[in-house]
Structure formats: C-alpha cells, structure tokens
Structure 1
Amino acid sequence: MVGTRFDAMKTRLFRQSVRFVAPLEDKSRLLLLGWTIVVAAACLLRIAFPVTPAAGIVDALILYVPHMLILTSPFLAYWAANALFPRGTEFAQPEIRLARLGSWRPLNALSARDHPAFGPVGIMASLLIGMLLNVPIRTAEFMTAVPAMTGSAPQWGQMIYMAMATDLIAMNFLYTLCFFMALRRHPFFPRMLLLTWGLDVASQVLVANYVGGAPFLPASVAASIAPLLDSNLKKAAISIAIWLPYLLLSERVNVTYRWRQSA
C-alpha cells in the first residue's frame, strides 16, 4: 500500500513537472514582460529618489546606467541564448568528457530522444525553478539592501553600490543563460552551471574584500552589507552541495545532456 501511494505521488509530481516545463519556452517573452514591468517600476522609483542628488550628467549616469543594466540583463541573456543556441537545434556533444563518475553507455541523438529519461523534467524541473527564481530574489535583495547612489556619494558608498550592482548584473545574466541552456538541452549546460557557481562564490569573496577596503567605511554600513554577501555565498554553496552530485550521476541529466545511459 505504501509503495503504491509512493509511486502514485511520483507519477503526479512528474506530470506536474512536465506541465511546468513544457510551456516555459513559449512563455519566455511573457515572463520577460512581467520582469520589465516590476523591475522597471522599482528602478524608476530608486532613480527618482537616490540617497544623494546628482550634481551633473556624470553623477546621474552612475545612478542610471547600473539600474538599466540590471533591468536588461535577463534580456541580454535571452538574446545571447537565441544567437548561440537557437530553440529547436540539436547540438553536438563535446569531444572531451569531464564527468567521468559512473559507468555509462553512449547513445546517439535519436536513441537519447527516445529514452524515457530524456528531457529537463522531473527533479530537473526543480533546478530550472531555482535558476529562474534566483534572478528576482537576488534583485529584490539588492533593491532593499543597497541604496541608489550618484557620483556625489562618498567614495565608500560608490564602491559598495557599483560592486554590488556589477555582481548582480553578471549573475542575473549567467543564471538566465544557464536556464535557457538547460531548457534547450544544450550539452554544455552542466559545465556552464558549474562555472557560474564558481564565479558566484568568487564574486562574493572579491566584493567583500573590495568593499572592506573602502576608505572611511562606517562600521554600521559594513554590518548591513555583510548579510547580503553572506546570503549570496550560502545560496551558491548550498546549490553546489545539492545539485552537483545530481548533475554528475543522474540518469536524466546524462541522457539529456550527455547522450549516455547507465551501462
């Protein structure tokens, strides 16, 4: 009885993952439109009421440009995905295998597509959701923790603002790009996600060291920024700990992205 209920629950969750993943590609533009409406409103509000007023064009650009890049970073990733790996394209497998754990038998493209474990569904859908949600969550954290500043702000304020904004822009771009690579079954998706995780961890450490060296940085400001950096670092570390074994050993990942199945 317990086994039957467990199988029924697995089947129900699998079908729910299919219903979630199947329309994602067609709804990408709708998701980007929703992102634009919400984030543009937040950016305009921050630009209209900065912590320090702009004394000139250069000061205003320091306020304006990072917010526009935050807004457009997912669009840039979407355009890059369409240019580099268009929808509906089959991509060649890499010549050198980096994932060597386990015993696997190679499949050709048709055999991989016919395999029951083919496609970014099931547990893979949770990874897609995580990458997708990472963008708005980190953006919301930045908006609430880092005030909008112009070129007339103290040097330590400009350093914090520019460093945190640069980190957010880069990570939003990379996680969105990874999302589309996973959705379109690109063979380099596992490697790209691993690279993004590594850059995310390194970025938090670099930003912490950079901001920590800001001249005359108030202790209260440093204490308010530290939790955000710590949160980003922990999220990346937890993602690596949870998902790296799955990316290496999962039958679905290996069939979908590496065209091989368990020997």
Structure 2
Amino acid sequence: MRKESDRVIAVKGVSKRVVDASGELAILDDIGMHVDAGETVAIVGESGSGKSTLLGLLAGLDTASSGTIHLLGQELGALDEDARAALRARGVGFVFQAFQLMPHLTALENVMLPLELRGDVSRRQAREQAHALLERVGLGSRVSHYPRVLSGGEQQRVALARAFVTQPAVLFADEPTGSLDAATGEAVSALMFEMNRSHGATLVLVTHDLSLARRCDRVITMRAGRLAEAA
C-alpha cells in the first residue's frame, strides 16, 4: 500500500470554467485523482473531453477555477507564474504532439536549452549531457541539424532527449505519437517508455491511442470534463 507521501500529483475537487459569448462553459468538473511516484498513467477520452486541459493544469501551465492540485509537494494554486515555472524547470519534462522544437536551434542546442535556462551547469556540461542523450536516442550523427531537415520521428526523439536532459521527476506527454505514422509512433513510444524506466520518472500521458495507453500502469477515461473511469 502506497503512502500519501508517495504521491507526486494529488488533485482534489478541480474544475475549470471559461466564459465566452454564450456564457460560462465548464471544461472540467470536480476532478479528483492522484499519481504515485514512478507510476505510468494514461488519460484517454474523446476529443473535447478535457484531457489536454487537465494535463495543462497538472503541469501548472494553466490554473484551475476551483479545487487544489499538488505537484511534487507544492500546491500550484499558491504559486505565482514565476514559481510554477521554477518548479517545472526543477522537476518536470514535456513531450508534445507538435514537438515544439525551436526552429533556429540545432538538435543539440534544443536539448541543451532546458539546462541552460535552469542555469546550474556550465555550457560545456550542458553540451556533453545533451550530446549523450542524442546519442542514446540514435541521433548522434544529427546533432548539428536543424528541425526543418529532420523527419517527424527524429524531431520527436530530439524532444524526448530534451525532456529527459534535466532528469525530471515527472514527464508529461500530450499525444506524443499523434503526428507520426504507426511504425514511427511505435518506435518513439517504445523509446519513451524505456527512457522513462531508466530515469525512474513518473509518466502522465494524454493519448487517443489505446494501444499506447495500455502500456501504462493505469488508464483514466474522461467524458465531458469528468473522470468516467479509472482502471
């Protein structure tokens, strides 16, 4: 039985509402969940069910309208934007469907960037760590290439290297294989899980791909902004 202290994410009574021309819209309604250290969790559901909104709240990229979210022992609602950014820099990695690489930086520079922004290692150390991870994801010969000349699978492998270069406690992945063909997506997902295991990170991913979701320890299903099922 895991203790509450093992939880890296704890969510209680979280709702997210926005106001548009038609009035107030509830995107998330009374969400409660937790994720333990080292766990792999998939969030699935139809488009518009609130999956990506929930992921953004868990990562502190957005704020809840009500309820509380604790990430790595910190209540996100009690932190300002700068403090949330500092928490992410210390303990969080991201992988996105659209890769989100900086187009004017090489593969090596993209992977170095989180270390340089954090500022606790020298540029030489950042370069060495980034190069080692690019070697690990099979891109040792592509370190000086810019994103525009890399395939989708190569760009996502650069994104994986960037996500893990800071040794994050938690990795958030939003449709990490959504822009890739089936074979490339399978290769990238296998690499993501292998790297996650070797780094001992907690993984929370949003996906439409049920085969990818089933590789996780637990699958959470969302419907119309509510948790419909947790297995």
TM bin, normalised by shorter chain, reads under 0.3
Higher strand share: 2
TM-score, normalised relative to structure 1 = 0.24
- Whose radius of gyration is greater, 1 or 2? 1
